Structure 1
């Protein structure tokens, strides 16, 4: 009994140490007496966020979360700042917890422009003086498929801006929106001196894949064709953009299967072709356990085996995580290149955990774990960068 009571006391103390109370409100006009509790063991802190731009008033929010790098951009006609201040004691992000932007000139100068025309920005002679944390010159040429508009940006940027868009606009493992390209040194952001390729960019769920040019940091232009079948319903996707090739991937979990093929090339605008992924339906003799959430069964308990086809020469088992999902298990027949590169699963929005394995014998992927979840494609967006893009287009709309 003494030991049990001692254990309860210790657990209570640990819980107290691991939790942190913070003020939480979505804007400075709200009542910030609301409180939230976060897990400080997961590196979460109380934070105050200041967001301001030249097209709107400064917005102050408070919350519990992970602190990230501040963001700052100036294109000459548009300025944006998002700063964070964090603290680690209960309710420390009170009304006195402020975020200040450093607006002192830092000596760096960059070419400046914001337009829907690359030619206009190429002719622009505008120069902007950088301030505070804006220690890079930046350039991007972006085609936003959802909004259907293009945007060319030159200006001063913080290191956080340069890092943020690295996974911005990735569909099925192909990047179809330009990354922000940054350089160090006065007036270094001329598009003629930028590294990387210019590539065709598009995504087609049906109909013609109308290509638009984007500037890539990678040295490769990419084309990818994907076919997935969920509970007998088939859907095909074709993309063009930037990135490295994974090769032909094949996975079959029974109720869910996917085939993907890609092609890469290393010259400007070389990815101007279209092709369809070919599915090999020849039985290869291997049988594996298969399960995802599409089968409405717990993958930890499934005893369903399936015949593997074509290049599916391995049985796969893994616990995975997703952006908006809890841990789940996937099992199925897989091509060898998925086993050699588990990160290929990220194309479908899943990220393997340490228990990922492939094996060669029939039925060798029985494994154990929690209930299964689907492998699903996702759009990967770097969240801190989204408000900036929206602000830029808001400004463009207002001026028009």
Structure 2
């Protein structure tokens, strides 16, 4: 177990600029949860930057800066109010496309986005440990998450994912 300094950055990406929300937390995590994680659905990008250490009270230092995003060159399918056929340009360490479907009694929700490798693993673990049935697939290559698209609303899995990350 490692001590963690964590910065949660939530970026809304309107076309004329961006809004940014930041929250800092300190806790204990597994080593694979250290580093920068990112999820990008196009109109919204969730970034978690963490710095881990393993000595007494080492997480009292300032949190790490979130890396400014630059295009990664990958393109993925995302969902919008029209369905799951829109494109999103991945940023920073987002080197994978993700497709997640969560099944709850009488309801199915789908999310498609760009994600970092660490975020894919985190989402798979988080959704599988919940009491909700879920199917999560991460893949590499442009638009590799476009197969078997399903309709979805605007916020899709974003709100549940925010609550997972912020809890």
Q: What residue is the counterpart of 2:110 in the other structure?
A: 329
After superposition, where does 1:159-170 map in structure 2 within 5 Å? none
Larger RCO (alpha carbons 8 Å, 6+ apart): 2
| Structure 2: runs of 5 or more not aligned | none
Q: What residue is the counterpart of 2:49 in the other structure?
A: 261
Q: What residue is the counterpart of 2:157 in the other structure?
A: 374
Contact 2:84 2:149 in 1 (8 A): no
- In structure 2, the CA distance between the partners of 1:317 and 1:249, relative to structure 1 (3 Å rule), is same
Q: What residue is the counterpart of 2:71 in the other structure?
A: 283
After superposition, where does 1:312-391 map in structure 2 within 5 Å? 312-320=94-102, 326-343=107-124, 353-354=134-135, 356-366=136-146, 367-372=148-153, 373-376=156-159, 377-378=162-163, 380=167
Q: Secondary structure at the match of 1:339?
A: helix
CA distance in 2, matches of 1:352, 1:236: 30
Please report the TM-score for the alignment, with normalisation by the length of structure 1. 0.34
| Structure 1: runs of 5 or more not aligned | 1-218, 381-400
Contact 2:76 2:143 in 1 (8 A): yes
What RMSD over aligned residues (CA atoms) do the two structures have, in Å? 2.7
CA distance in 2, matches of 1:242, 1:268: 11
Contact 1:338 1:345 in 2 (8 A): no
Q: What residue is the counterpart of 1:124 in the other structure?
A: none
Contact 1:318 1:352 in 2 (8 A): no
Contact 2:50 2:63 in 1 (8 A): no
Please report the TM-score for the alignment, with normalisation by the length of structure 2. 0.74
Contact 2:101 2:134 in 1 (8 A): yes
Q: Which of the residues 80, 87, 91 maps onto 1:305?
A: 87
CA distance in 2, matches of 1:257, 1:352: 24
Q: Secondary structure at the match of 1:303?
A: strand
